[in-house]
Structure 1
Amino acid sequence: MKDRRTFLKQASLVGLAGLLPATTLLASDFKTNTLVNENSATKWADGSRLVVSLSMQFEAGGQPVNAESPFPQNMQKGFTDLPGETWYQYGYKEGIPRMLDNWDKFGVKVTSHMVGSAVLKNPGLAKEIVERGHEAAAHGMDWATQYTMPYETEKQFIKDGADAIKKVTGFQPVGYNANWLRRGTNTLDILQELGFKYHIDDLSRDEPFLLKVKGKDFAVIPYTIRCNDIVLIEGKNFSADQFVRQVILEFDQLYKESEKKRRQMSISFHDRIGGTPQMVAATTEILSYIQKHKGVSFKRKDEIAQMAYEDKSIIRE
């Protein structure tokens, strides 16, 4: 197990040799997420009983001036919320580095939904996320409201964000997440046209499914606002220990249901929230608990999408 400092020293010698663009998804490419016990009952083709998918939002640095923050939203016009900016800076200075070391500690790989402008502001960190084996997924070029955009404007907005990720990390994003999940009526058509494989802006199921978009299959990998730090912690609804309890309750129920049906559990962390010391400690407690259960695997969302495409029994809507 390597801490971040050791990793950075070694990575400087390796350069870009470890970058593997995900233009083509192959099940054989993903071998790092081993099962706790491969003999458990399952509805997943790879032998998993329950699949857990972790999200790590890389947004800090891409936010607009005077973006929402824990401080009162009462800044006078023409002035900048300087302490609010430092709250976002915490995300790339402390939050993501701390989470990266914790993912390594547990041997799990996550999906990082990256805002294009945040990636351009902190290219070294974006590159490190990919070099450490995590998926880079697109999250728009900035925090613009895309559901109001005309077709071609939205298409360029999505493409610009994905191109920024590809340019910096060498990883071609195949997954998409709109700002606050608020895609527009054209978004899925655009994603299909641009070669994306899945989106996550859907809360309707606890398992992946396929849609027909422009006459072709398109995967939906459901997201969560239940096990989500921005809703529960930053929304000031829960404390860190309550978050642990919430997520474990969710896991226990899905694990029970997974005896008879395909189940996926999602947990979401944001750079400036999930990367705080108390939340990484909470995450440690959660992951330690989950990994004690047989048949559980942790997968990136591009892996789940590929499994959905290959599974003839997958739900189609």
Structure 2
Amino acid sequence: MMDRRKFIKQSGLLTTAGLVGSAVPLSGMAQSTNNLRADPNAKNSKWLDGSRLVVSVSMQFEAGGQPENAESPFPQNMEKGYRDLPAATWYEYGYKEGIPRMLDNWDKLGVKITSHMVGSAVLKNPALAKEIVDRGHEAAAHGMNWATQYTMSYNDEKKFIEDGVHAIKKITGFNAIGYNANWLRRGENTLKILQELGFLYHIDDLSRDEPFIQKVNSKDFVTVPYTLRCNDIQLIEGKNFSVDQFVNQVKMEFDQLYEESENRRRQMSISFHDRIGGTPQMVQATKELFTYITNHEGVSFKRKDEIARMALEDKTTIRE
């Protein structure tokens, strides 16, 4: 079997040679196919550091920054004027148990992740935010709070993003260069603002399975693609997947991308949220999943800032 690129390439070669429509024995066709398996673009399948497939892990640090009576697993039937107290404890779990448990798990697995931090959550739990960075993980910006930024004016949105960056810098000392909007819903001005503020990349894009570069304000800006297919808030919380369903879906995603990575540069994204991915069952599922992944040759786990810098340095990175 051959992938689409090889098929197109082979078809072109066969047509040029006048073989299409001629009585070529099937055995001869098979031999021709085998001879064409050496893809001249194979060099583009490797990452700059020689990795075959890169896995990018997100850990959302949002709990504590949510608005009052935010969405939760509880029925959305609270009467106006009352606080949803049990829902508040669901969010508290994220910083009391979830992130600390995940941090220990990342250390055991030897994985460094990117934590997208809501500024107000960082200010509410400064020691935890600093611990994330002190343990070698990337702090990326995730807005100052859960406000809807795509409706903001240019100046309001710029301040909103800046405030979140300043909160992270003040508490952790880390200069955030990556951005994730609430539910990926950036506005028309977001990328321009990010470029002005010195960001290198954003993740609010589902269009590819590898990073790409585009011009923003006449400068290179990287998209490190995100996914909803391997995302605990979408699958576990949104669809009520069991952990074995989650593991199976992510594992199948990995298997396909790993197969493709023989001939194409591939990136796999997996996302965890503080109050969901940090539950005991999900941490056990993650151990099983990541152990499976690391048993494959040529796979590396990278922070998103590392991926963005590598994409900028690599002359073969896709440009749009």
> TM over 0.5: same fold?
yes
TM-score computed with the length of structure 1 as normaliser:
0.87
**Kept in 2: contact 1:234–1:273 (CA 8 A):** yes
Tell me how far 1:42 sits from its aligned partner. 4.7
RMSD of equivalent CA atoms: 1.0
For each residue in 1:113-135, what CA deviation from the matched residue of structure 2 results, as whole angstroms up to 9, or x when unmatched? 00000000000000000000000
1:131 maps to 2:128: no
Are residues 1:216 and 2:219 paired? yes
**Equivalent residue for 1:198, pick from 201, 206, 214:** 201
CA distance in 2, matches of 1:50, 1:146: 33
Q: Distance in 2 between matches of 1:244 and 1:41?
A: 29
Matched, 1:225 2:234: no
Say whether residues 1:264 and 2:271 are aligned partners: no
Cα distance, 1:233 vs structure 2: 0.2
Q: What secondary structure sits across from 2:239 in the alignment?
A: coil
- 2:258 corresponds to which residue? 255
Hey, what's the Cα distance between the residues in 1 that align with 2:224 and 2:99?
23
Determine the C-alpha separation between the residues in 1 that align with 2:239 and 2:182.
20
Which residue identity does 2:275 align to in structure 1?
R
Checking the alignment, whether the CA contact within 8 Å between 2:45 and 2:266 is kept in structure 1 is no
> What code does the residue aligned with 2:185 have?
R
| 1:8 corresponding residue in structure 2 | none
> For the residues of structure 1 that align with 2:61 and 2:316, how far apart are their CA atoms?
34
Query: Quick one: distance in 1 between partners of 2:44 and 2:69?
Result: 50
Give the distance between the partners of 2:142 and 2:130, measured in 1 at CA.
16
**Match for residue 302 of structure 2?**
299
CA distance in structure 2 between the partners assigned to 1:221 and 1:291 by the alignment: 21
Moved over 2 A (4+): none
Matched length:
278
State which structure, 1 or 2, has the greater radius of gyration over its C-alpha atoms: 2
Spell out, residue by residue over 1:286-311, the C-alpha distance to the aligned partner (whole angstroms, 9 max, x if none): 00100100000000000000001000
Equivalence for 1:68: 71
Q: Residue 3 of structure 1 corresponds to which residue in structure 2? A: none
Q: How far, CA to CA, are the matches of 1:137 and 1:306 in structure 2? A: 14
Distance 2:312 2:169 in 1: 24
Q: Which residue of 1 aligns with 2:149?
A: 146
Q: Percentage identity across aligned positions?
A: 79
Which residue is equivalent to 2:120?
117
Q: Which residue matches 1:155?
A: 158
Counterparts of 1:297 and 1:261, CA distance in 2: 15
**Offset at 1:238?**
1.2
CA distance in 2, matches of 1:43, 1:50: 8
| Residue 167 (structure 1) aligned to one of 163, 167, 170 | 170
The answer (yes or no) to whether the contact 1:53–1:300 under 8 Å persists in 2 is: yes
Q: Distance in 2 between matches of 1:195 and 1:291?
A: 34
Once residues 41 and 220 of structure 1 are traced to their aligned partners in structure 2, the CA distance between those partners, rounded to angstroms, is 18
> Does the 8 A contact of 2:44 with 2:265 survive in 1?
no
